[in-house]
Each structure stands twice: as C-alpha cells, then as structure tokens.
Amino acid sequence: MPFHGISACKNLQIMRIIGFVSSCSYSTITDIGLTILARNCNRLVKLELNGCEGSYDGIAAIGQRCVMLEELTISNHRFYEGWSAGLVLCSCLKTLRLENCKHIDHDPRPSENLGYCMALDNLQLVSCNLRDEGGFHGLMMLSMKIRQLVIEDCWGLNDEIFNFAATCR
C-alpha cells in the first residue's frame, strides 16, 4: 500500500494524488487508498485527486475523517456511480473544483435523499462534460448554498443545464 508511508505524516495539510496520467503512467488509487489516507492524514485542508478511482465509500471516508478539508479538486476522475453523495459528509468543504471530467456522476442519489454541502461556497467546473443532466442536477443539489459558480471551457451546456443552476440559492 503506497499510503502507509505517507500516512505517518500526521500533520500533512496539502496533498496531491495522481492515480492515472496516461497509458504510460498508471497506478490504481481506489477506496482502500483513500480510506487509509483519510484515517491517518485527518488534518488535510487541501486535497487534489487526479485520475483516481473510487466510489461513495472513498469520498465518504475523506468527508468523515478529514474534518478540516476546505478545498477539494477532482480531475480526470474514474469514480463509480453515486460517489458525489459522499461530498455531503465534507462538513467544512468551501471550494469544490471538477476538472477534465468526462462525466460528473451518472447516477447520483435521488434528490430527496441527497442532502447538500453546508459550507460549500465556490463550485468550479473546468473542461467538463455537462451533457449528463442527472449528474449536473445532483451536483447543483449538493451545491445549494454556493455564492460563486465558475463554468469554464465546458461542453454540453444548454438551457436545461442552466435551469438546474437555479436550485442554488
């Protein structure tokens, strides 16, 4: 396990994890690795996950254990359906950035069961595919209290997508 050595750094506050860059560089970072990280590096304030796999369990572990986490960047993710519901457990999360995502979450939980991120103030979507209306709607439900929404170089925008943004207060 690659995180056992890193997890000895109890005061680690900023971390960038690159799980998959190209066909030449591949390392699987899954829920197990994210759980080990969350269990032992619970003082994280800023976390970037690039090319990681996982599901609700990995994101929920980070949310439950990394209680000081304020900024989360997810790039090129390969998460399984339902992962975004784990973001609700990130109680201090102020900034969420999704970058180069081919999809957000194909099957977020039903909106009545989803909840929302209480502290989330800033949502940034950069070079993401927003054609998946269900995934985008679920993300907007999670982000009900944001003050700043940045949509940069994304594709799949249409009137329906912008209507989902109206759920943000």
pLDDT in tens, 71-129: 999 999 888 988 999 999 999 999 999 999 998 887 777 555 577 899 999 999 999 99
* CA distance linking residue 91 with residue 89, whole number of Å: 6
Which ranges in the chain belong to alpha helices (H)?
3-6, 31-40, 56-65, 111-114, 133-142, 159-165
Provide mean pLDDT across the span 5-30.
Answer: 74
Given the structure tokens 């170089």, which residue do they identify?
153
pTM of the model: 0.89
Structural domains counted in the chain: 1
Q: 97 by DSSP, 3-state: which? A: strand
Q: Is-contact 130 137, C-beta < 8 A? A: no
How far are the Cα atoms of 117, 122, 129 from residue 114, in angstroms, in the given order? 10, 19, 22
| DSSP-assigned states of every residue in 15-28 | EEEE-BSSSSSB--
CB atoms inside a 10 Å sphere around CB 5: 8
Q: Is the pLDDT of residue 7 over 70?
A: no
* CA distance linking residue 28 with residue 107, whole number of Å: 22
CATH code for the domain of 65: 3.80.10.10
Crossing angle between the packed helical segments 56-65 and 31-40, to the nearest 10 degrees: 0
Q: What is the pLDDT of residue 110?
A: 59
- Residue ranges making up the domain that contains 150: 3-165
